[in-house]
Structure 1
């Protein structure tokens, strides 16, 4: 008997095994499916696309939310805790490298304004590690962040770039050598916020769910109608051949991502939310001779001086965000729901982009703008070229606060849950909440207390080699460089 077959069978009120339907195979829906199936719960997962986790440009763990100086300390603590859980479960999906935060002289912010939050996060991390040593996944708590004054950067700039940086100082060397030190306020900050590979997350989820017979994954399947029943929901969907099918489930999870509102409309459940279309750009800097940390140059969102984000991958590839309307943000790209529909309506041009219809001139124009934006701070980056098509997607934001970053789940009906994550690291929180809700309704036994690792026995057994191999296949199928699928600084061949 394997691990999954030995789980306690969950029964619905009809006496049959409980079945949970999940609409949407993005990071949230697939994680919920994995969490439930790993515990022996029957799952029907519906995904309109051809593969799982093919949505917004996930690239950053947000282990403390330090990219966002405008969000609350509580949101930062929540993101820290969620990120630790994510690293423990998706252990082969992380790009382990720190993040540098630099504040330009022309910005209204000040580095010292961030210190109270950083100290709070460091103390929180220390407490979490003391509670459970397995939480020590972001390095030692004492090293969670480090400050760099100008004279320290001047000294580091004289050193050679290390081939395999290990210490904070070694990671900082290429930054010190490449930026104009006159442009910034001091100190610069290095924090242990790591990267995430969307391709390795997709690979992990796909490979694990393939091994779990309790989970039935329906790709190329569009849910076309829902009917609430006394003891659950009837889900009607259409497959790739336009054949229609019907499945009854005891509990329904709406994990539709930016299209969550369309599922709410099918279920006749109102909800207020926002949707924002954003894009990140793939560039190739062939002259790059160092392993870089991620670097965040703070700036006022939506202005020409919006934040610039440099995210490194192997082989000289970098993903760029520029939080201006000419680069990552788009005019009219943030929309809200209304009284007639829970689904905010993006205009036709964004819908075309979401269907992969980008014109080559626009790809080149926006990518070049991103390169120019970054070259303000890293002068040599002007040598970079277009490295591939953009990573893009629409991000849902529940409610009416566009600065919200830590969100998880909401309920409107007894047997209907709505995933409302904004950041990928929140997916496990949704899954936990749904497990608790299923137990409270008597649809599954009360779960026993387990370690994070023991909650995911099948996925924990996946090898780095198998995950990277499949991730490279996904990157190729989706038209991206395979370098984006590989870990930083590691050769798995």
Structure 2
């Protein structure tokens, strides 16, 4: 008993500041609180996980033909772990991958990659049955030839009994099948609700004994001291205050470079500003899978992506300059600063919202872009304000997707996640460093009390409405 009290005291004395309450900082706070580490989260906004759009797990990076197999395997494992940590945030609907006739590529390399990923997923399930979060490994993906889709198109929906065919039925009815190369692929690439993830984390951490959430707190400076770091911040009343901690985690998202500059650390990175759009299509009554039509990024035929939500709402990406990508939207750091300079117009969109005229123009373009493959979708209308944000990418390779954490100086970690599923890997590496240094015990662990499903969904819907989005984006799918 005395040894237990001593261990607990040692852990409680170790203090960590997490700068940023996005998915990276939030996941860090959840894991630190589980390990009994006294944690302060400094978030300039009013709540957790209110940053750039998240719509899918990127399990295996299946959406990107240019991503390496090694990155795909990393992202697959990270996605499985993320589903296990945030089970209530998952929208359990598959994704359809298609290549149009006009595109020079094919799905051959993607299918070969999927076979490797299916093998690895099966191994993960064999290691631990709780890893079976994306269905049976044998059902990880399925190929559809044109004649199969034509036959499915001729069927009445009520007569379709196969689960995969039920997801493909609306695709067979509405997609321009003659415009596609074959096969099409149905893959268990699930959705991720940013609002339910935010709700689960915020409800959990509000009651966590070792975590203090500081909203409307802006970090003004960080200085190394003999025992760690001094963090100076402006609180919600405008007062300047400071606190001393033993360790600093920089999880400031696309503004990570500003904290690096304060701390005196140079770093090479890119920041890319992007947006996704909300459309409302009242002419559909069926559950849709996500649909990805591959294309050459940055061209008028760039990748088109339709992500379904309840009540006829869809989230749209189009990898063209007229839709998701922006002129001078990809910027790099310099020798003078670790923080790339993002165009002031885009920062305004992130922090203060869009002009409604631009919302309508860009959303209409997104609808037209996807409508070239799904003609009936051109009837859709603007469904709300865009989900926009900027993602950091360490180094100078804009195609990098599997990235997590780097360390600098003394007791300093910077989270450099590109995909949400990498956040858990980042904090696990930090905790391993804590254990190696003897700052926490390998056996210190207390599971956090999680809210029930109904409360998470209710809170998520409230969050969506409060942030100006349709509550349908917070409701479960599948």
- Tell me, yes or no, if the aligned pair for 1:45 and 1:216 is still in contact at 8 Å: yes
- Distance across 2 between alignment mates of 1:216 and 1:163: 54
- Distance across 2 between alignment mates of 1:162 and 1:384: 25
Number of corresponding residues = 476
- Tell me, yes or no, if the aligned pair for 2:434 and 2:440 is still in contact at 8 Å: yes
**CA-atom RMSD in angstroms:** 1.8
- Tell me, yes or no, if the aligned pair for 1:35 and 1:456 is still in contact at 8 Å: no
- Tell me, yes or no, if the aligned pair for 2:405 and 2:413 is still in contact at 8 Å: yes
- Distance across 1 between alignment mates of 2:161 and 2:430: 41
- Tell me, yes or no, if the aligned pair for 2:249 and 2:414 is still in contact at 8 Å: yes
Task: Please report how far the alpha carbon of residue 126 of structure 1 lies from its aligned counterpart in structure 2 after TM superposition.
Answer: 0.5
Runs (4+) of structure 1 moved beyond 6 Å?
163-166
| 1:9-28 matches, cutoff 5 A | 9=8, 11=10, 17-28=13-24
Higher helix proportion (structure 1 or 2): 2
Secondary structure of the residue aligned to 2:55 is coil
| 1:220-369 matches, cutoff 5 A | 220-369=216-365
- Distance across 1 between alignment mates of 2:192 and 2:7: 33
Secondary structure of the residue aligned to 1:276 is strand
Secondary structure of the residue aligned to 2:221 is strand
Q: Deviations over 1:48-103 (max 9, x none)?
A: 00111010101111111100110100100111001101111101100000000000
- Distance across 2 between alignment mates of 1:388 and 1:6: 53
- Distance across 2 between alignment mates of 1:7 and 1:157: 68
- Distance across 1 between alignment mates of 2:6 and 2:292: 45
- Distance across 1 between alignment mates of 2:87 and 2:313: 23
Task: Please report how far the alpha carbon of residue 165 of structure 1 lies from its aligned counterpart in structure 2 after TM superposition.
Answer: 8.4
Describe the shift of the 1:58–1:8 C-alpha distance in structure 2 as closer, same or farther (beyond 3 A). Answer: farther
Structure 2 residue corresponding to 1:130, chosen from 126, 134, 141: 126
- Distance across 2 between alignment mates of 1:8 and 1:162: 61
Q: Say yes or no: does 1:169 pair with 2:165.
A: yes
Describe the shift of the 1:160–1:382 C-alpha distance in structure 2 as closer, same or farther (beyond 3 A). Answer: same
Q: Say yes or no: does 1:181 pair with 2:177.
A: yes
- Distance across 2 between alignment mates of 1:57 and 1:457: 28
Partner residue, 2:380: 384
Describe the shift of the 1:163–1:380 C-alpha distance in structure 2 as closer, same or farther (beyond 3 A). Answer: farther
- Distance across 2 between alignment mates of 1:163 and 1:311: 26
- Distance across 2 between alignment mates of 1:337 and 1:447: 40
Task: Please report how far the alpha carbon of residue 462 of structure 1 lies from its aligned counterpart in structure 2 after TM superposition.
Answer: 2.1
- Distance across 1 between alignment mates of 2:310 and 2:354: 25
Secondary structure of the residue aligned to 2:8 is coil
Task: Please report how far the alpha carbon of residue 11 of structure 1 lies from its aligned counterpart in structure 2 after TM superposition.
Answer: 2.5
Partner residue, 2:468: 479
Partner residue, 2:210: 214
Structure 2 residue corresponding to 1:106, chosen from 102, 105, 111: 102
Partner residue, 1:76: 72
Task: Please report how far the alpha carbon of residue 6 of structure 1 lies from its aligned counterpart in structure 2 after TM superposition.
Answer: 9.0
Task: Please report how far the alpha carbon of residue 268 of structure 1 lies from its aligned counterpart in structure 2 after TM superposition.
Answer: 0.6
- Distance across 2 between alignment mates of 1:74 and 1:435: 24
Q: Which segments of 5 or more consecutive residues in structure 2 lack a partner in the other structure?
A: none
